[in-house]
Structure 1
Amino acid sequence: MIRPEVKAGLRRWREALIGAGLLVWGLWWALTAHGYIPWIGWVIALIGLALAVTGVQRGRFRTGAGGLGVVQVTEGQVGYFGPFTGGVVALSDLSKLVLDAGQTPPCWRLRQPGQPDLLIPLNAEGSEALFDIFAALPDIRTARLVAQVSRATSGAQAGQPAQPVVIWERARLRLH
């Protein structure tokens, strides 16, 4: 009954839409109710605002599905199982996260010492779970992460060549 494009758009922006709904509902209670209900409305509005902001970030991170391979995230490990390559990277061993927009399709390049890089296409099934994993990396800037994903997907659609971009790198301990 709902067109597939509309369904995909709603699924992509679901957290942002739920957050906006909670924000409107909370503001309505806060501004029109009496007694203790306005206080509950303000709390609901703040929760809705936080959910909407994170939902926009997640929506911008999601680039779609239907690509080659499957991503699995379990107990501190990211696994990618594709038709030609695959592997597992423990997050504690991850040394560098690179967005390689020069690949077709654009890929995440997860680097760990002593192992070959693990390439994960942005549109692999289950790749939306990577946002939470990447956001948990120490000192990562999620706004930059989301902006680079948007730039990579729009550049790939326009056919523009792009260079790999280092999104995050583990800080090295320096001993004097």
Structure 2
Amino acid sequence: MPLIRPAAAATLRRFSEPLTAAAVTAFGIWLMTLGGWLLWPLGGFLAVMGLAWAVQALRRVRFRQPAKTPGVVEVDEAQVGYYAPDLGGYVSLDELVELRMVRLRGNRFWRLKQSDGQALLVPVDAAGSHRLFDAFAALPGMDTQALVAALEDPVPAGEGNLPAPAESIGAVIWRRADRRGGRGGLDLAARSRHL
């Protein structure tokens, strides 16, 4: 008979990173209570770093989806790959210019578009899709809170008695700023509304 029930063990594994970050924060606060010129700043540093780590760890937990869709996501050397029986491919994160959440036939996908126009659809619930959080968080100017919020938005239902649309292209979650020193497309679109 196992010491911990399987459901409790699964929950502990899922929240192991946030719990570790909380322990680092608590240790930092404990060091601060000891006082002194060395322990107070060291404890404060550990507490702040642990708190920042805990926030990111909780976002990673919220980002993780149970694997339901066939296929595997791979993140390797600044490339995102998706392998499935019927579709797949690679996208370079250095060449990525836009990230969206799209809905096709009732399923949600990340739409990763490169500067040359190629796009890759990656199901949010494919095996290994949790690796995308760190890859997306490393993009310049990415708001990880908006990234998680886009994932947590429910699939839009139809209004009244109308069925939900089969396809929808969601809002842009991230767009690369113009590499020539200008602003990204989102800021230009917002600026044009004010003119």
Shorter chain as denominator, the TM-score bin is 0.7 to 0.9
Aligned residue in 2 for 1:21:
23
Map residues 87-106 of structure 1 onto 2, 5 A cutoff.
87-106=89-108
Aligned residue in 1 for 2:86:
84
Figure out how many residues of one structure are paired with residues of the other and give that number: 169
- The answer to whether the 8 Å contact 1:18/1:51 transfers is no
Specify the code of the residue in structure 2 equivalent to 1:22.
V
* 1:46 to partner: Cα distance: 2.0
Q: Deviations over 1:119-167 (max 9, x none)?
A: 111121211111111112222222111111111xxx24x9674742211
Structure 1: segments with no counterpart, 5+ residues: none
Aligned residue in 1 for 2:48:
46
Q: Deviations over 1:16-38 (max 9, x none)?
A: 2111111112212321x355444
- The answer to whether the 8 Å contact 1:100/1:108 transfers is yes
Tell me: CA distance 1:87–1:148, structure 2 relative to 1, closer, same or farther (3 Å): same
2:175 corresponds to 1:169 = yes
Aligned residue in 2 for 1:132:
134
Structure 2: segments with no counterpart, 5+ residues: 159-163, 181-195
Deviates more, 1:1-10 or 1:101-110: 1-10
| Higher relative contact order (CA closer than 8 Å, sequence separation 6+) | 1
Residue 100 of structure 1: SS of its match in structure 2?
strand
Residue 12 of structure 2: SS of its match in structure 1?
helix
* 1:52 to partner: Cα distance: 0.7
Alignment partner for residue 12 of structure 1, among 11, 14, 36? 14
Larger radius of gyration: 2
Tell me: CA distance 1:66–1:10, structure 2 relative to 1, closer, same or farther (3 Å): farther
Give the % identical residues. Answer: 42
Q: Deviations over 1:63-98 (max 9, x none)?
A: 233532111111111100012111001112222211
Aligned residue in 2 for 1:147:
149
* 1:103 to partner: Cα distance: 4.6
